[in-house]
Chains A and B, each alone.
Chain A
Amino acid sequence: MNQNNNNNNNNTKTKTKTKTAAGGGGAGDKKRAPGGRAEDEDKNTAAAAAALELEREEKRKKMQPPKKRLYRTRAHSNPLNDQSFKVPRHPSEVNWAEHFPAVAKNPEAKLEVENVDVGCGFGGYLLKLGEVYPDQLSLGLELRDKVTEYVADRITALRAEEGGEGGEGKEGCTYENVAVLRANAQKDLPHYFRKGQLRRMFFLFPDPHFKASNHRRRIISEQLLDEYAHFIRSGGRLYTITDVEELGAWMKSHLDAHPLFERVGDEELDGGGDEAAKFLPSASEEAQKVKRNEGKTYRSVYRRR
């Protein structure tokens, strides 16, 4: 039994070592004991010290960024399904303090989401938003349960990392201003946001839905644009980017035809006035994939009239 335990311990040790060797791990290379073993040791040492150790252990565990392969998921989720998760009855019933605990404790800060990344995927761009706009709250919406879980764990890990020591986070960024929600953005936006609440909405590398019969599932459509225009305040912006030429043209034509949006020219975006637009082709996981394959991207940014 004891031997077994030891073996286990050894295993975890080597695992952590390989992890750090791979460069992904943010936690230190100290040995990680499983919870059960830590409790055994409690009896021998002083209670206070053990508690402290346990606390550190917890923290270290939290700081471990999650591994993507443990969150395997299907590539698609049907947005037309009757959802199996709970949707708040009214925007006022959403407990934002639960998602932004540190911001909620600060009486001066406004607890209102202003940037929304619709279909945030594994959260690369969402975290970038947190860094670029430290004084605004950013929210990622994702329909796939496992992916949402991954992003939530990733944010928890980044928050636990104080000052970003050696982890993947940016120095000086606490990531208290980003959160992720499992939601169907096509159906349930009115259950989360109020009129004119949002500054920016992002639709990055959305599902192309090539088949004509599936075009109604696309995230940019005439009907849904009305809804987005309702939630984006006047002067706010809607960002889209894709690596599929057909979808890029589709999004551009629909946005051009919509009376409540006007196109923001490339000169203005590239001139450096828009921080968010700068990272569109680079920050998210999908964007990096496209970059690796040296694919072309099609970006369109629109302003709410």
Chain B
Amino acid sequence: MTAKRKGEGAEAGQGNGNKKGKTKENNEKVEALVDVEVASGGGCVCVAAGAKLFVLRQGEPRWCELRGGQGGDAAAVKCLAVSPCGRYVASAGNDKSLKVWAVVQGEEEGKCLWSATFPKRVSSLAFSADSGVVFAGDKFGDVRCLAVESPRTKETDKGTEIDPRRVLGHFSSIITCLSVSPCGRYLASGDRERKIRVGCVPPSPVESGVHEIQAYCIGHSAFVTALCFASSRSLISASWDGTVKLWSCEDGAEKDSVHLGAGFGVDTASPISMALLEEKSMVAVATEKRGVCLVQYSEEEGKLKPVRWIAPPSIDFVPVSIAAGARGDLWVAGCEVKPNHLGSAPSERGWYSEEELKAIQGGGGEAGSDPGSDPGSVLAAVYTLSTGPEAKYLEKQEGVWGGPGAPPVVLVENSKRVRGLQLVPSELHKHVYPLSEREYRKRHQAFRVHGDRGLN
């Protein structure tokens, strides 16, 4: 349901560019944004698929669904965070809301503690090191924060509302990722403008804000997609430009940078999600349509080294989000495209080739089979991974969606109209117009109305 709404939204977004142009056909295929997220902390793992939230508590065999009072019409969850203590889950949806859930056993089990409405859509979340405060970065570049136990409120016409306080801001850029250092002193925020800002968090950020900047980490050439602190002194960042970088967070110096593809014969691999495996001194990076890569880091030497790619369990699985489990394992959430148009065994290399990608991405389209008879769907899927020397995908988590027999969550119902899977929101990409077009767009109304035809 949500996925379908999403598809329509994407189409409307495309249409906005040339409102009166009517150049787009009504049945144009669109890219469907895949909404799957996984997050972990304190032994607790949480998965969001579409508008649904599922949580696996430490030491428990069964997943349980987090249900709010709002019923089934909640918007798709865009980002997710689990507190370091493992007691809270924060989720932010497409409807500009931020919800904090209690996952502890007892009275408040699985309940929504509070829900706040933000002025802009939340694009990233992080808990403070002591789990007392949740930071939320939004689409307009502001990071706001709220105390988990007792969020600040204000009186409005409609009654008492939760009032998130702005603690810092990037100038009109989308905050793509947030991370708090293990010591709790630094808050790193990455944005669409390639910057990473490391701010000094005062003891009470809700009152005093995060005004002092420790350093800027400058060096990426595309938007930053994921951040994690290797320790309180080092920061690892992944960016859409295909690199993973290691920074010293005290002075913002770039210690090392690696291209994920280099050395493995992969030309481009754009990271979309990253998880830290502290015991193994490794980060696992999920890349767009290329699978998962393990990167070893050494803080003393300031070095990064890509170790291996993990072969996907089946050709139709596309990893989207990754999180570290409690016992050095990994959780990967992604989507499966059904039916599989390629039908062959998964590649042993560990990443997808261009042809395989096409087949996966094709959905009901170009892959050769008749799209009319075979609509196809995109389903959410969760796997666990081992990270040892023979790192591989372990079993698929069948019980996530409410028991072994329960059907998985459908993200895109009918992929007949889906051109491809979009794993990163399109608003993050920069629109680069050629000079001539830019000038015309500026000066010629005709161009705006009729597109290229207006010029003649």
List residues of chain A with CB under 8 Å of any chain B CB.
Answer: 79-80, 82, 84, 89-91, 186-188, 190-191, 195, 216-217, 221-227, 229-230, 258-260
Contacts and interface: CB of A to CB of B under 8 A. Distances in A.
B444 interface: no
A82 B218 contact: no
Contacts of B219: 89-90
B430 A260 contact: no
A258 B430 contact: no
Contacts of A226: 168-169, 199, 211-213
B212 A91 contact: no
B169 A84 contact: no
B213 A227 contact: yes
B431 interface: yes
A143 B168 CA distance: 24
B173 interface: yes
A260 B211 contact: yes
Contacts of A260: 211-212
Contacts of B169: 221-224, 226
Interface in B371-402: none
Contacts of B218: 89-91, 190-191
Nearest to A261: B211
Contact of B171 (A90, A187, A258): A187
A222 B166 contact: yes
B195 interface: yes
A195 B215 contact: yes
A80 B169 CA distance: 14
Contacts of A84: 435, 438
Given A82-B432, A90-B218, A222-B166, A230 B140 contact: no
A224 B173 CA distance: 12
Nearest to B208: A259
A188 B194 CA distance: 10
Nearest to A226: B211
Contact of A223 (B168, B195, B252, B438): B168
B216 A223 contact: no
A196 to B, nearest CB: 11
Per DSSP, chain A at the interface is helix
Of residues B195, B208, B211, B215, which shows the largest number of chain A Cβ atoms within 10 Å of its Cβ? B211
A223 B170 contact: yes
Contacts of B141: 223
A224 B171 contact: yes
Contacts of A187: 171-173, 193
Contacts of A195: 213, 215-216, 251-252
Contact of B142 (A89, A186, A191, A223): A223
Interface string B343-376: 0000000000000000000000000000000000
Given A80-B172, A82-B432, A222-B169, A190 B211 contact: no
B143 to A, nearest CB: 9
B221 interface: yes
B444 to A, nearest CB: 16
A187 B435 CA distance: 21
13 contacts: A79-B171, A90-B219, A187-B172, A187-B173, A187-B193, A217-B172, A222-B169, A223-B171, A224-B169, A226-B168, A226-B169, A230-B216, A260-B211
A96 B426 CA distance: 36
B430 A190 contact: no
Interface in B384-432: 430-432
A230 B213 CA distance: 6
A190 B166 contact: no
B140 A216 contact: yes
A37 to B, nearest CB: 34
Given A89-B221, A223-B142, A229 B171 contact: no
A232 B245 CA distance: 27
Given A195-B215, A229-B211, A259-B209, 5 more contacts: A82-B430, A217-B172, A222-B169, A226-B168, A260-B211
B120 to A, nearest CB: 11
Contacts of A230: 212-213, 216
Contacts of A224: 169, 171
Contacts of B211: 225-226, 229, 258-260
A82 B431 contact: yes
B41 to A, nearest CB: 28
Contacts of B209: 259
Query: Counting chain A CB atoms within 10 Å of each CB, which of B166, B172, B435 scores highest?
Result: B172
Nearest to B141: A223
Interface string B173-199: 100000000000000000001010001
Nearest to A224: B171
Nearest to B211: A226
Nearest to A219: B171
Nearest to A217: B172
Interface string B208-246: 110111011011010000000000000000000000000
A56 to B, nearest CB: 37
A259 B167 CA distance: 12
A276 B435 CA distance: 40
B212 A229 contact: yes
Contacts of B215: 195
Contacts of B172: 79-80, 186-187, 216-217
Nearest to B172: A80
A225 B169 CA distance: 10
